[in-house]
Amino acid sequence: MPKARTKKATIAPKKVVRRAASNRAPVIAAIDLGSNSFHLVIAKVQNGQPVVVDKLRAMLRFGSGLDRQGHIKPAAAKNALACLRQFGQRMAIWHPELIRAVGTNTLRQALNPEAFLHKASLKLGAHVEVISGIEEARLIYRGVSPGISADCRTLVADIGGGSTELIVGTGSQPEILESVTMGCVTMTDQILGGHFLTEARLTQAIVMARQKLWPLRGRFRGSAWQIALGSSGTIRAVEAVARELGLTQEGLTLAALYELKEHVLRQRYSDHLVLPGLATERAPVFAGGLAILIGLFEALDITDMRVAKGALREGVLQDLISRLEGNDVRSEAIRRLASVWPNPYGNRSSIQAMRLFEAIAGPWQLSARDGQLLEWAALVHACGRAINSLHYERHSAYIISHTELAGFARQEQFLLAHLVALQHGKWTRGVLTPLKQAFGQTAVRLAVLLRLAIVLLRLEDLGSLPVIRIAARNNILEIRALTRGTAIRDKLWQYLTPELADMQKSGIRFLLVK
């Protein structure tokens, strides 16, 4: 949906389904734009599981790339774009059918990141999306869950460069999802970086971590988890160093972390740590990650933690496989939302919207992904009626904007809310301009189709809906009534004319053919 000519590979088109049905294994790709490092993982899908065939990693410390106002610094943007260009070149060798590139905490915190995201999408050759902290936690758990017993309640912790995610779940089902804005890069920048490494300074970092995690203490201690797992690079690096120092054979304990802290304090600078088993590229943020891990153990009374194999990118791969198999978690999220906030038209709204979509998708160059977004918007367009029928479209948009919808990127949710907001009421430049700037003319065309579908449903309920046919070319939509009898046709034009007059502010012209 963005203006960038990116590879539309977020859902499974027909050619992918046909390929999956053959003996040739589909190829998928996951890209993680983390605050410490960027990752690309390319995998073939065999027997419903990802088999990694290629991967790249770049330690960029992107989380240090925001200025005081929250803008992405030019140097950080340049390094990130160069990395994504390399990722795009590598993906071009494999031609993955499904791609998902997710940006995490740094892009969540960045002020006006749209220009960077546009360039990033062009360099990568695929749409770069920004996910919420809760969505990041869900994907982390999905990446780790293949190693979790179906009857074991497990705490999963992931310390990234800019945020820390905590999840409690059983088997493949996450039950508690939390994200805290605190990571090894941000902790280093705030307290440890560029200073002498003293016990007072490291203790300050541990106390800060414990304080940020303390509000979650009651909820997580009361969740009765049985084992703790740590995922991603920070916790793996800590365990590797502890193992090399003989502090543990496998996993981590609080006692081992305290001993490791003493080894770290023997160094002068946190930026230049030299420890057995510690990669040079990770050394600058190691002490910050260790401080957060100690604070986590203390805040949640963790006695020992094992290191998990999966992480965020493995979760993205699992999500892509589900999409490939027709089990999109986003569709399930929409169904759940629709069940909580009932739609007075039921499935009729989505059926009507998709009839219109199928009639003009070709001339208007609308993709399968566009159709999916329209169908989702139609299913939840009236959820705001549960709050108030007056200006219900505004309430619907608010609910969609502020609900955690599994699998959705922030941009997708933003678009979904805008489509729903435009299904009723006046269209103004203040609403249309940002929509066009963010998503282009395609978004406006989807909004027109949704609004027209809802209008036709109202006419149907009044018993005044004739058989119609629509056709499109460029920015012209032709509506033709096929039912004989002037009374019903006149009722249709009378009802449609003010609606279409308002929608013409979008730049689309409507032709009514009697």
For 285-296, write each residue's pLDDT tens digit.
999 999 999 999
What is the full DSSP assignment across 150-189?
Answer: TT-EEEEEEE-SS-EEEEEEETTEEEEEEEES--HHHHII
Q: Check residue 6 and give its pLDDT.
A: 37
Question: Encoding tokens for residue 7?
Answer: 């590879």
> Does residue 480 sit in the same domain as residue 437?
yes
pLDDT digits (tens, 9 = 90+) for 482-504: 766 667 677 777 778 888 888 88
The band of 8, judged by pLDDT with boundaries at 50, 70 and 90, is very low
Task: Say yes or no: 165 and 276 in one domain.
Answer: yes
Helix (H, G, I), strand (E, B) or coil at 479: strand
User: Is residue 18 predicted with pLDDT exceeding 50?
Assistant: no
Q: What percentage of the chain reaches a pLDDT higher than 90? A: 64
Q: What is the pLDDT of residues 116-133, one digit of tens each?
A: 999 999 999 999 999 999
Residue 321 lies in a domain: no
Do 376 and 420 belong to one domain? yes
Domain count, the chain: 3
Among candidate residues 264, 282, 311, the one where a domain is terminated: 311
Check residues 269 and 205 and name the one with the higher pLDDT.
205
On whether both 185 and 216 belong to a single domain, the answer is yes
Residues 6+ apart with CB under 8 A from 280: none
Above 80 in pLDDT, residue 224? yes
Claim to verify: residue 114 and residue 144 sit in the same structural domain: no
> pLDDT-based confidence at 220, cuts 50/70/90?
very high
- Using the 3D structure, point to which of 276, 311, 346 is the last residue of a domain: 311
- 101 shares its domain with 210: no
For the entire predicted model, the pTM comes to 0.86
Separation of alpha carbons 30 and 17, rounded Å = 19
Q: Is residue 3 part of a domain?
A: no
> pLDDT for 421-434, tens place per residue?
988 888 877 778 88
CATH code of the domain in which 299 resides: 3.30.420.150
Instruction: Report the pLDDT value the prediction gives residue 483, as an integer from 0 to 100.
Output: 65
Q: At what angle do helices 392-402 and 410-421 cross, to 10 degrees?
A: 170
Percent of the chain with pLDDT over 70: 93
Q: What is the mean pLDDT of the chain?
A: 89
What radius of gyration, in Å, describes the C-alpha atoms of the chain? 26
DSSP conformation letters of 214-280? GGGHHHHHTT---EEEEEHHHHHHHHHHHHHTTS-SSSEEHHHHHHHHHHHHTSSBGGG---TT--T
CA–CA separation, 468 vs 452, rounded Å?
12
Are the CB atoms for 157 and 298 separated by under 8 Å? no
**Residues 300, 302: Cα–Cα separation, whole Å:** 6
Same domain, 94 and 208: no
On whether residue 503 sits in a domain, the answer given is yes
Q: Report yes or no on 160 lying in a domain.
A: yes
Structure tokens at 93: 């060798």
- 17-21, 141-145, 419-423: least confidently modelled range: 17-21
Please check whether residues 183 and 90 belong to one and the same domain. no
Instruction: Tell me the one-letter amino acid at 187.
Output: M
464: confidence class by pLDDT, cuts 50, 70, 90: low
Find the CATH number of the domain harbouring 74. 3.30.420.40
Q: What is the pLDDT of residues 154-208, one digit of tens each?
A: 999 999 999 999 999 999 999 999 999 999 999 999 998 777 889 999 999 999 9
| 373: nearest Cα among 344, 409, 403 | 409
Query: Is pLDDT above 70 for 245?
Result: yes
pLDDT of 2 > 50? The answer is no
Domain CATH for 472: 1.10.3210.10
Residue 190 shares a structural domain with residue 203: yes
User: Which three-class secondary structure state does DSSP give residue 99?
Assistant: strand
Position 27 scores a pLDDT of: 97
Query: 3-state DSSP helix/strand/coil percent for the chain, to nearest 5?
Result: 55, 20, 30
Would residue 1 count as lying in a domain? Answer: no
pLDDT higher at 84 or 431: 84
In a domain, 302, yes or no: yes
**Full 3-state SS string of 279-333:** CCCCHHHHHHHHHHHHHHHHHHCCCEEEECCCCHHHHHHHHHHHHHCCCCHHHHH
Q: Are residues 91 and 228 in the same domain?
A: no
Instruction: Identify whether residues 250 and 343 lie together within a single domain.
Output: no
Instruction: Judge whether residue 278 has pLDDT over 80.
Output: yes
Residue 7 has pLDDT above 50, yes or no: no
Query: For residue 15, is pLDDT > 60?
Result: no
Q: pLDDT band for 446, please (50, 70, 90 cuts).
A: very high
Q: Any idea which of 102-111, 252-261, 346-355 has the lowest mean pLDDT?
A: 346-355
Pair 284, 349 in one domain: no
Contact 40, 109 (CB under 8 A): no
Residues of the domain holding 39: 14-131
pLDDT band at 23 (very low <50, low <70, confident <90, very high): low
Burial class of residue 381, CB neighbours in 10 A (0-12, 13-18, 19+) = buried
CB 379 within 8 A of CB 334: yes
Asked, for residue 190, whether it belongs to a domain, the answer is yes
Both structure tokens of 13: 């088109």
Tokens of 112: 């006006």
**Could you tell me if residue 84 is inside a domain?**
yes
- Predicted confidence (pLDDT) at residue 5 exceeds the cutoff of 50: no
pLDDT band at residue 348 under the 50/70/90 scheme? confident
> Residue 268: what pLDDT?
81
Helix (H, G, I), strand (E, B) or coil at 343: coil
Question: Distance (Å, rounded) from C-alpha 491 to C-alpha 469?
Answer: 16
Answer positive or negative: Cα dihedral of 484, 487, 493, 495: negative
- Which domain-ending residue is among 82, 110, 131? 131
